[in-house]
Amino acid sequence: MSDAALVLFSGGQDSTTCLAWALDRFDRVETVGFDYGQRHRVELDCRDALRAGLGAINLAWKTRLGDDHTVSLAALGEVSNTALTRDVAIAMTDGGLPNTFVPGRNIIFLAFAAALAYRRGAARIVGGMCETDYSGYPDCRDDTIKALQVALNLGMDRRFVLETPLMWIDKAQTWELAAALGGPALVDLIVEKTHTCYLGDRGARHEWGYGCGECPACRLRAEGWRRWRRSPQ
């Protein structure tokens, strides 16, 4: 066991897996979610049920789970013109990135998380950024996270550690990690209660969870589920 941690907790599959990972390692774990006008804001509404579900899976996790925080970042949505903050079709841009990329999002998230962690006495900040399964977002790269850690430590005169447990694993391995951490109960919780769909669709229930089934986030989650289920358990 180590010190306190703050987890960037959106209510999605990746952040829920990261929260379980942190609860398995640190004495006190708090969570923070960001409301930036995202089309899939329903993800934030999933967090209470997920936190309660994690506590029910493991009594030690329940004891370690601390406060939840929600930070309004409406300005990020206002300055962004993306498929995550506007009602437009998801597509590739001329620059080679999907228009679901919200410029500066993870940089801003981590800066605000560090400010909160400073106040709450948490040295570890945990995020679900990943280079293996991602859409080419530059703020998900390991180099970006390492550079931000240096900048935050210099700018706040702290020794923060930015933890990214999913950085080098794919979506099938993320399902595998959840199963290793919390068994079938955690996998079932992620299927039933998390939200990943970019369009905010919770009408259709698939074997891997709720979503439109067609957006890039749904396809990635579904394919990871199928590969994990085909692998030796």
Instruction: Look at residue 203 and tell me if it is in a domain.
Output: no
Instruction: Give the residue ranges of DSSP H helices in 4-46.
Output: 13-23, 42-45
Instruction: Look at residue 204 and tell me if it is in a domain.
Output: no
For 76-114, write each residue's pLDDT tens digit.
Answer: 888 887 877 777 777 777 777 777 778 889 999 999 999
Query: What sign for the dihedral angle of Cα 103, 104, 106, 112?
Result: negative
Instruction: Look at residue 45 and tell me if it is in a domain.
Output: yes
Instruction: Look at residue 166 and tell me if it is in a domain.
Output: yes
Instruction: Look at residue 47 and tell me if it is in a domain.
Output: yes
Instruction: Look at residue 230 and tell me if it is in a domain.
Output: no
For 163-206, write each residue's pLDDT tens digit.
Answer: 999 999 999 999 999 999 999 999 999 999 999 999 999 999 99
Instruction: Look at residue 207 and tell me if it is in a domain.
Output: no
Task: Report how many domains make up the chain.
Answer: 1
Helix 105-120 to helix 142-156 angle (10° resolution) is 40
For 58-68, write each residue's pLDDT tens digit.
Answer: 999 999 999 99
Assign residue 118 the CATH number of its domain.
3.40.50.620
The token pair that represents 202 in the structure block: 């919770």
Spatial contact of 42 and 195, defined as CB atoms under 8 Å apart: yes
pLDDT at position 1 over 50: no
Dist CA 4 CA 15 (whole Å)? 17
Domain region containing 67: 2-189
Instruction: Look at residue 217 and tell me if it is in a domain.
Output: no
Spatial contact of 30 and 68, defined as CB atoms under 8 Å apart: yes
Cβ neighbours of residue 224 closer than 8 Å, sequence gap 6 or more: 133, 170, 171, 172, 174, 175, 208
